[in-house]
Chains A and B, each alone.
Chain A
Amino acid sequence: MINTSFLRISFCALWLLTVGAGIAVMLNYQNTCGSVGTTPEHWPSKTQIALDHNRDTLLMFAHPQCPCTQASMEEFNRLMAQCRGRVTAYVLFLKPSQFSNDWTRTDLWRSAAAIPDVTVQDDIDGALARKFGAETSGYILLYDPRGQILFKGGITDSRGHAGDNAGESVVVSLVNGQNTSLKQTPVYGCSLLSKTCPQPGTVK
Chain B
Amino acid sequence: MNSSASKVFAAADTVSRRTAELFKEQQQNIIRHTDRLFFWLMICQWFFAIGLTLWLSPRTWAGVNSQIHPHVWLAIVLGGLITSVPVLLALTHPGKTLTRHAIAIGQMLMSALLIHLTGGRIETHFHVFGSLAILAFYRDWRVLISASVVVYVDHLLRGVFWPQSVYGVLYASIWRSLEHAGWVMFEVTFLIISIRTSLNEMHLVAERQAKLEALNESIERTVAERTMELTQENMERRQTEDKLLKNQAQLAQAQQIAHLGSWEWDLVKNKVTWSEETQRLYGRTPEENGVPMENCLERIHPDDLPQVNKIMAESLRTHQPFTCVHRAILPDRTERVLQGRGEILVNDKGEAIKMYGIVQDITEAKRAEEALHRSEEQLRQSQKMEAVGRLAGGVAHDFNNLLTVIEGYCAMALLKKEEVLPILKNIEEIQKASERGASLTSQLLAFSRKQVLQPRVLQLNEVVHGMDKMLRRLIGEDITLSTIFEPSLGRVKTDPNQIEQVIMNLAINARDAMPRGGKLTITTSNVTVDQKSHFRNRTLEVGEYVMLAISDNGMGMTDEVKSHLFEPFFTTKDLGKGTGLGLATCYGIICQSNGDIRVYSELNFGTTFRIYLPRTDATSESITTLDSEDLPTGTESILVVEDDPAVQELAVIILRDCGYQVEKSNNAFEALELMKTNPEFDLVVTDVIMPQMSGKDLYEKIKKQTPHIEVLLMSGYTNDALAHHGVLDEGLHFLEKPFSPAKLARKVREVIDAAGTPRAFSPNGANGKSR
Contact = CB atoms under 8 A, between A and B. Distances in A.
Interface of A: 5, 8-9, 11-12, 15-16, 18-19, 22-23, 25-27, 29-31, 63, 65-68, 70-71, 94, 96, 98-99, 126, 137, 157-158, 160-166, 190-194
Contacts of B84: 15
A190 B60 contact: yes
B547 interface: no
A191 B120 contact: no
Interface in B74-127: 74, 77-78, 81-82, 84-85, 93, 98, 102, 105, 109, 112-113, 116, 119-120
B59 interface: yes
Contact of B165 (A27, A99, A191): A27
Contact of A23 (B78, B105, B167): B78
Contacts of B656: none
B65 A194 contact: yes
B62 interface: yes
13 contacts: A8-B93, A12-B102, A15-B85, A25-B78, A31-B165, A67-B58, A68-B57, A158-B164, A165-B168, A166-B170, A190-B61, A191-B63, A194-B62
Nearest to A18: B81
A191 B61 contact: yes
Nearest to A27: B162
Contact of A26 (B57, B62, B69, B116): B116
B301 to A, nearest CB: 102
B66 interface: yes
A99 B65 CA distance: 12
Contacts of A67: 56-60, 69, 71
Nearest to A169: B170
B120 A161 contact: yes
Nearest to A71: B119
Contacts of A22: 74, 77-78, 81-82
B324 to A, nearest CB: 97
A160 B71 CA distance: 11
B64 interface: yes
Contacts of A26: 74, 78, 113, 116
B109 A193 contact: no
Given A16-B105, A63-B63, A164-B164, 4 more contacts: A15-B81, A23-B78, A30-B165, A158-B162
B257 interface: no
B165 A157 contact: yes
B169 interface: yes
Contacts of A5: 98
B63 A96 contact: yes
B61 A11 contact: no
B70 interface: yes
Contacts of A191: 61-63
A25 B78 CA distance: 10
B61 A65 contact: yes
A194 B63 contact: yes
B169 A164 contact: yes
A70 B117 CA distance: 13
B741 to A, nearest CB: 153
B162 A31 contact: yes
A70 B119 contact: yes
A63 B85 contact: no
Nearest to A103: B64
Given A99-B64, A160-B57, A19 B81 contact: yes
Contacts of A99: 64
B98 A163 contact: no
A19 B109 contact: yes
Contacts of A9: 98
Contacts of B168: 157, 163-165
Given A15-B85, A165-B168, A30 B116 contact: yes
User: Which of A5, A98, A163, A194 gathers the greatest number of chain B CB atoms within 10 Å?
Assistant: A163
Contacts of A157: 164-165, 168, 170
A94 B93 CA distance: 54
A101 B74 CA distance: 31
B61 A63 contact: yes
Contacts of A98: 64
A192 B63 contact: yes
A19 B82 contact: yes
B724 to A, nearest CB: 123
Contacts of A19: 78, 81-82, 109
Contacts of A137: 61
A11 B88 CA distance: 12
Closest CB pairs A-B (n = 7): A67-B57, A164-B168, A163-B168, A22-B78, A194-B62, A157-B164, A191-B62
A59 B84 CA distance: 46
A158 B165 contact: yes
A67 B119 CA distance: 10
A68 B71 CA distance: 10
A186 B465 CA distance: 181
A136 to B, nearest CB: 10
A161 B118 CA distance: 8
A29 B82 contact: no
A158 B78 CA distance: 19
Interface in B138-196: 162, 164-165, 167-170
A124 to B, nearest CB: 12
Nearest to B121: A162
B120 A165 contact: no
Contacts of B169: 164
B715 to A, nearest CB: 137
A63 B57 CA distance: 13
A27 B69 CA distance: 15
A16 B71 CA distance: 20
Contacts of A63: 61, 63
Contacts of B77: 22
B62 A190 contact: yes
A190 B57 CA distance: 11
A84 B385 CA distance: 174
A68 B53 CA distance: 11
B62 A12 contact: no
A35 B78 CA distance: 26
Nearest to A98: B64
Contacts of B74: 22, 25-26, 29
A96 B64 CA distance: 7
Contacts of B167: 164
Contacts of B162: 27, 31, 158
Nearest to A34: B62
A67 to B, nearest CB: 3
